[in-house]
Structure 1
């Protein structure tokens, strides 16, 4: 079966419990040198894959740009950017690319470091003097911690996080006074929109200029990202003919609408612009990729020193034992399960309520790809298109073939003695990135079972097993830094799947009295990303359940809570969204559950 056909089915499979000055214009693609491959096979293969993924996943529109060195060698689109306007998706279509803003913010901060306006070892107390976090955290968190997601700050801040009427992101500083950390700064990587937003505030303070204005003028436009913009910042500057007297700014660009199952929706704005407020086309993103592949140079202009580019793409968490082989630079992910074999990789994804985007760089090969879509259901398809485009380009450019697909994993039943010994060592509840997964006996065998899916383990050692749905991977249980981890091994690469929870503590009567359905309290203009929140008791453990609306169908999530007293509980686990404090405010019928700025009331 061709690799691209197999991917169609893969995008339909749900997750398991084992487990955002004017320069050269990228819109003008120059003719590639004759010795450079024309990527004919890549165009044909990826076009077939894109068309099939669109049909299989109810995608309305999707765009792609492929970069080789300093050239955009292919840029295209499929489907529609805006159905009502009959606007086709293309390379100039502008999407909400969400968290791809983070590498942009990091690059702008490194520019400020070069100008002497910022230092990476400055603390939050120096950068934002009025910020007063719990304890002395503001004196311990550095700018470097913010850029590498090692600040220990909560992953998110939900006050108008997605909103049609969001207040300025700089006001978050006043809103988070007294917030408790989820981890000791510098001890582990915890992805944080809040941390990157504070980095943006620090940039504003140091430069004396609004974030969007500074980043646009110092980075976006010089890098040729003409149609990229932040809401409230400088307007996009599309290429216009000298005699053109039509619309300017937002009215002149090709903006994508938003869709769920091909039905139009309103895509709310992400408040925390430095962490996820970027709007851009794949040509804009390709311009940023070209800048980094050229070691910070655009034409004759050095926008970013080569040493700063190298720092962005260098791992900064190798000394953190709980991170295992997860690799992070300054705002870049530096490991990728499907591209680990190619050498260095740098990537970031982005999403809003309905839009998805992906930017992946292969610095050792001078290749990069940007993909974006306007559909809620396109998440897996965007990832697949990006990865498969690069694999095909590597084959055409260097003759590199990917490793053969791993053989299927056949299940065999373990002996009762092996099963008993395995469960004695590893049974329990594990906090994973998609909620609590229970490793235990089910129908006479060892299973990992979670709200989002389950997997049966074939035990092949005292600490290891395989799962039929994960060919080529091995599940291993290890002890690291006083934590018992369930990890996923692929070859020599180890990635954390979950951490075993301690036995459930006694649940105070005050928390037991709150068990039941709750409702999200939305502020005017706010758009919630969850529904049906419920406090419950599962296997003697206090839990918070809800449906996550950023997936389709909605993703069932079960979070374990550790009560700290009658009014405070901590979300257990090491992954994004975990470690945060949930607290109760008010009394009696006016009680509210307060969760990193999200408010719940009794239903």
Structure 2
């Protein structure tokens, strides 16, 4: 479910993938110990069929066992229009998988004592400082943003700095540009995925090594690992072995990427298999030490112990140390993973550290998320079976995937009253309403009923014309409920036996006159980017809540709740990914994440007194 970075966009993804009409994949074969050829035969037959079903142009896969690449193969087209086939060496845009290499490069510099894990990043990036509503003293806030917290997404920084996101600006200039940003979450208290944090790690790597990010990574990781098709610079037009990305079936031009260290890597599963082999060998590749054993262990050590709001999602340095709501490979089997989604490329790397097995898959279409995730899990199960000689996935493994019976009950009146309200989620405002003695939820225009199942959890259900059940896919199998953690009412989900937070209930607060007067439409005024991340925003009031919605050209984005702090500042309600960001009122409009917006000329200020 958590396709782009393994946990945090659950509901939005589920709603975007409900009602799938495709057939379930054919059951994997029964394998004897060492029967890797059976795995290869199955995948060679199934991958092209499933690519056709999901309209995926090209895909590449690599299977790793210890220090051996069991199999690497490309399928389909790197460029449909040009008739170029995918090969073992075709490079795809890796997206967030870039962070794994960035974390490794940072740890190499820690080994050389050029960086320190627990020192403030400001020690290296002198010009960088933050503002905080969580600290009484400015210096305490700056001290709290350490390299360790950046690498484990616990720095409290916003997820993005949107201005100039798609420009080839030098990483070294970024610390000055973003200096003075407000923290979105308390550092060290919760994992909140941040591309901006990893961009700053890239700047710290450049500053401490005296090299450009690309040169440093080539010198210390990519070339020593024989990753000859891998690079953090350029676009798909630079070299012929790079795949073309597709969105909605159409080829997409490659956008420039400012945050190379967060998402700029071009690579292939074959190349990444060398990186995995190095990890499995405790830092050694082909008899040459690339990283210290201690660095590998620290990368795979849980960094967020004690973070109550993270529930069942342990975080390492760069790596997610469990499926974090995704389908498990097998009960009791540790799984480390990361995935990437860049709009027209999808990738995933999952490894079983105790068995030293790994699967790496990359594809060049926005339609490939389900296929990549499903193939990764199936391939790992087959490899586990071939390695151990026993079936990897039993009935216990499949239990959570089945619909747990059909007996559902309407929540009681007291229950409905307790649950009804507005919720701040990563995917926007979730409204739960008690209507006609039933409970309904609305998110992004999708409406469904919430019923109690046999185990007492809330389950989503939808009927066409009130009569015929609609298959909601994973959303229909998800179990939900409201719980209180650290005084906050958290909407919790149980998925494949794991608990993950989806959002937070928000109560209305008094709206200052200054913020009420911001109601209206705004357009960006300080961007000359060819592909601006935002072209405008709109603000409105609903049921006592101030709501803000972004816009790209004519496309309206998701709405979020704004909570005013004072007459000049408000925060995006909620906690975690993309939530908690600060919006500021200014004389001529508002500002957020590097952009300034002025009221659109065709709207009149709504003055509320």
CA distance in 2, matches of 1:156, 1:61: 29
Aligned-partner SS, 1:376: coil
Q: 1:396 to 1:84 in 2, by over 3 A?
A: same
Q: 1:396 to 1:555 in 2, by over 3 A?
A: farther
Contact 1:162–1:269 under 8 Å retained in 2: yes
CA deviations on 1:122-174 (whole Å, 9 max, x unpaired) are 112312122222233222211111111111111111122123xx211221111
CA distance in 1, matches of 2:69, 2:334: 20
**Greater CA drift, 362-371 or 528-537:** 528-537
Aligned-partner SS, 1:499: strand
CA deviations on 1:174-197 (whole Å, 9 max, x unpaired) are 111211101121111111111112
CA distance in 2, matches of 1:204, 1:446: 53
Deviation of the 1:530 alpha carbon: 5.4
Contact 1:69–1:367 under 8 Å retained in 2: yes
Number of corresponding residues: 549
CA distance in 1, matches of 2:556, 2:47: 25
Deviation of the 1:516 alpha carbon: 3.4
CA deviations on 1:234-277 (whole Å, 9 max, x unpaired) are x99xxxxxxxxxxxx954x5111122233222021221111111
Aligned to 1:4: none
Aligned to 1:29: none
CA distance in 1, matches of 2:71, 2:313: 31
CA distance in 2, matches of 1:556, 1:387: 32
Contact 2:152–2:316 under 8 Å retained in 1: yes
Q: 1:515 to 1:50 in 2, by over 3 A?
A: farther
Contact 1:422–1:463 under 8 Å retained in 2: no
Contact 1:530–1:547 under 8 Å retained in 2: yes
CA distance in 1, matches of 2:188, 2:583: 23
1:175 is the counterpart of 2:181: no
Aligned to 1:358: 348
**Greater CA drift, 106-115 or 45-54:** 45-54
CA distance in 1, matches of 2:420, 2:566: 28
Name stretches of at least 5 consecutive residues in structure 2 with no aligned partner: 1-9, 19-31, 132-137, 462-471, 601-609
1:437 to 426, 430, 438: 430
Deviation of the 1:522 alpha carbon: 7.7
Contact 2:563–2:570 under 8 Å retained in 1: yes
Deviation of the 1:323 alpha carbon: 0.8
CA deviations on 1:344-374 (whole Å, 9 max, x unpaired) are 2111112323222111111122111111122
Q: 1:63 to 1:413 in 2, by over 3 A?
A: closer
CA deviations on 1:194-226 (whole Å, 9 max, x unpaired) are 111212222222222222211111111111211
CA RMSD of aligned residues (A): 3.0
Deviation of the 1:80 alpha carbon: 0.9
Contact 2:417–2:434 under 8 Å retained in 1: no
1:543-558 equivalent positions in 2, closer than 5 A: 543-546=547-550, 556-558=557-559
CA deviations on 1:404-459 (whole Å, 9 max, x unpaired) are 354324454536xx521212333221112211212232453223321163443222
CA distance in 1, matches of 2:581, 2:569: 10
Contact 1:228–1:284 under 8 Å retained in 2: yes
Deviation of the 1:120 alpha carbon: 0.9
Contact 1:102–1:196 under 8 Å retained in 2: yes
Contact 1:451–1:556 under 8 Å retained in 2: no
Aligned to 2:53: 56
**Greater CA drift, 361-370 or 371-380:** 371-380
Aligned-partner SS, 1:429: strand
2:442 to 445, 449, 457: 449
Deviation of the 1:88 alpha carbon: 0.6
Aligned to 1:404: 398
Aligned to 1:313: 300
CA distance in 2, matches of 1:196, 1:177: 15
Aligned to 1:143: 147
CA deviations on 1:493-552 (whole Å, 9 max, x unpaired) are 311121111x22233344334333444558344424557743222322111224689xxx
Aligned to 2:271: 284
Aligned to 1:160: 164
2:415 to 422, 427, 431: 422
1:261 is the counterpart of 2:255: no
Aligned-partner SS, 1:270: coil
Aligned to 1:227: 229
1:271 to 237, 253, 258: 258
Q: 1:18 to 1:586 in 2, by over 3 A?
A: farther
1:531-570 equivalent positions in 2, closer than 5 A: 533-546=537-550, 556-570=557-571
**Greater CA drift, 432-441 or 94-103:** 432-441
Aligned-partner SS, 1:255: coil
Deviation of the 1:467 alpha carbon: 3.5
TM-score by length of 1: 0.84
**Greater CA drift, 298-307 or 44-53:** 44-53
1:381 to 361, 365, 371: 371
Q: 1:364 to 1:532 in 2, by over 3 A?
A: same
1:325 is the counterpart of 2:324: no
CA distance in 1, matches of 2:332, 2:552: 34
Deviation of the 1:463 alpha carbon: 7.1
TM-score by length of 2: 0.83
Q: 1:276 to 1:411 in 2, by over 3 A?
A: same
Deviation of the 1:401 alpha carbon: 3.0
Aligned-partner SS, 1:112: helix
Q: 1:346 to 1:132 in 2, by over 3 A?
A: same
CA distance in 1, matches of 2:551, 2:355: 41
CA distance in 2, matches of 1:441, 1:53: 41
1:107 is the counterpart of 2:104: yes
Deviation of the 1:380 alpha carbon: 2.7
Aligned-partner SS, 2:164: coil
Q: 1:546 to 1:493 in 2, by over 3 A?
A: same
Aligned to 1:67: 64
Q: 1:513 to 1:257 in 2, by over 3 A?
A: same
1:297 to 284, 288, 291: 284
CA distance in 2, matches of 1:490, 1:224: 39
CA deviations on 1:52-105 (whole Å, 9 max, x unpaired) are 443333322121111111111111122210123321122211111111111111
Deviation of the 1:377 alpha carbon: 2.5
Deviation of the 1:460 alpha carbon: 4.9
CA distance in 2, matches of 1:296, 1:477: 43
